[in-house]
């Protein structure tokens, strides 16, 4: 049986890109279109902070491709910009 504390890079990358997709969707209006702006901003903030936490993990960073890292960095910046509007 696998130890629950052992990181699963592929699952973690998928989860990170679920956050990328959600942030992007909220910004472009395709996700949570009927929610109040505060709910949208809170959701975006939670998700970009999740990405920042994941970037702090060496095992996560070592499994990302350059393209994936660029997408995550871009979405963190987009999320920060969105929540400050």
Cβ neighbours, 10 Å, residue 32:
14
Cα distance between residue 23 and residue 35, in whole Å: 14
Which residue would you say has higher pLDDT here, 76 or 1? 76
Q: Which are the contacts of 70, defined by CB distance < 8 A and separation ≥ 6?
A: none
The string of pLDDT tens digits covering residues 8-42 is: 999 999 999 999 999 999 999 999 999 999 999 99
Distance of CA 75 to the CA centre of its chain: 7
Which pLDDT value is given to residue 83? 98
Helix (H, G, I), strand (E, B), or coil: what is residue 27? helix
Which pLDDT value is given to residue 78? 98
Which pLDDT value is given to residue 5? 75
Percent of the chain whose pLDDT exceeds 90: 92
Instruction: Please compute the mean of the pLDDT values over residues 71-81 and round it to a whole number.
Output: 98
Which pLDDT value is given to residue 7? 87
Q: 1 pLDDT exceeds 50?
A: no
Cα distance between residue 75 and residue 69, in whole Å: 10
Sequence spans of domains, the chain: 10-19+37-83
């Amino acid at each position: 049986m696998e130890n629950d504390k052992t990181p699963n890079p592929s699952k973690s990358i998928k989860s990170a890109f679920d956050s990328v997709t959600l942030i992007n969707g909220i910004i472009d209006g395709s996700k949570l279109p009927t929610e109040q702006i505060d709910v949208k901003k809170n959701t975006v903030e939670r998700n970009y902070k999740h990405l920042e936490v994941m970037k702090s993990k060496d095992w996560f960073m070592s499994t990302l491709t350059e393209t994936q890292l660029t997408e995550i960095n871009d979405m963190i910046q987009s999320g920060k910009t969105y929540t400050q509007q």
